[in-house]
């Protein structure tokens, strides 16, 4: 394998492996729900084991068909992201962009493993109908919306409410960093000239 391909794909492989190690540990050592919480930062950071049928941060598509469609979409998306990563490396795009796409690829693969195989491995569903394991919960700010606030007046406010996993975090970091650095990552120049004096030109 060319040296240029090693770092991004090893990074992705490491994240996928660590994500699965955490998920397997959570499934085998924790009880789902509030009763099984492990507090790491008091009430502001904890392991809170849940499983969801859908997208990142617990969002879902309804029914068995929605679950199957989501899993198939994820697989197709991962294939596309993988080809995109190879293209970026081959054409010597910005190293930061390549690493962020590698993070997105790792996160997508991590959750695909859950939704594709976990139902069969843990004997609760068929292929492509597994549930994604989430565990990180950081309710850093809690309170209630004021009564004058529209729609949610008086309701409980929690930031950050969603429970997520390492794969979700990798996808989010990759997307956010690409958005923040898009001017640097996508300069109006040929890709080959955006990689001066880099190991990415090595064969």
Does pLDDT of 18 surpass 50?
A: yes
Does pLDDT of 203 surpass 50?
A: no
CB 152 within 8 A of CB 169: no
Q: What is the pLDDT of residue 173?
A: 98
Q: How far apart are CA 86 and CA 80, in angstroms?
A: 10
Q: What is the pLDDT of residue 5?
A: 84
Q: Which of 36-40, 107-111, 124-128, 147-151 has the lowest mean pLDDT?
A: 147-151
Q: Take residue 13 and report the two structure tokens written for it.
A: 């492989």
Q: What is the pTM of this model?
A: 0.83
Q: What is the pLDDT of residue 202?
A: 45
Query: Hey, where are the domains in the chain?
Result: 3-195
64-70: long-range contacts, CB 8 A cutoff, minimum separation 24: 64/129, 67/115, 67/128, 67/129, 68/128, 68/129, 70/115
Query: What are the backbone dihedrals phi and psi of residue 49, each rounded to the nearest 5 degrees, phi first?
Result: -75, 120
Residues forming the active site: 134, 168
Per-residue pLDDT tens digits for 111-149:
999 999 999 999 999 999 899 999 999 999 988 888 888
């Amino acid at each position: 394998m060319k040296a240029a391909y090693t770092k991004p794909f090893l990074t992705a492989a490491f994240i996928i492996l660590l994500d699965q190690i955490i998920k397997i540990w959570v499934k085998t050592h924790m009880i789902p729900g509030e009763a099984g919480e492990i507090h790491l930062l008091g009430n502001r950071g904890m392991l809170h084991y849940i499983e969801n049928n859908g997208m990142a941060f617990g969002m879902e598509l309804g029914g068995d068909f929605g679950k199957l469609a989501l899993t198939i979409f994820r697989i197709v998306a991962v294939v596309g992201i993988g080809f995109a990563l190879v293209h970026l490396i081959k054409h010597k795009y910005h190293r930061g962009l390549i690493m962020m796409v590698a993070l997105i690829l790792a996160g997508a693969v991590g959750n695909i493993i859950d939704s594709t195989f976990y139902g069969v491995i843990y004997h609760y569903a068929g292929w492509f109908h597994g549930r994604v394991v989430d565990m990180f919960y950081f309710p850093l700010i809690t309170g209630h919306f004021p009564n004058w606030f529209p729609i949610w007046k008086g309701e409980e406010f929690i930031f950050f409410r969603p429970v997520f996993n390492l794969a979700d975090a990798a996808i989010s970091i990759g997307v956010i960093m690409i958005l923040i650095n898009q001017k640097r990552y996508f300069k109006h120049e040929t890709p080959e000239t955006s990689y001066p004096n880099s190991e990415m030109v090595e064969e």
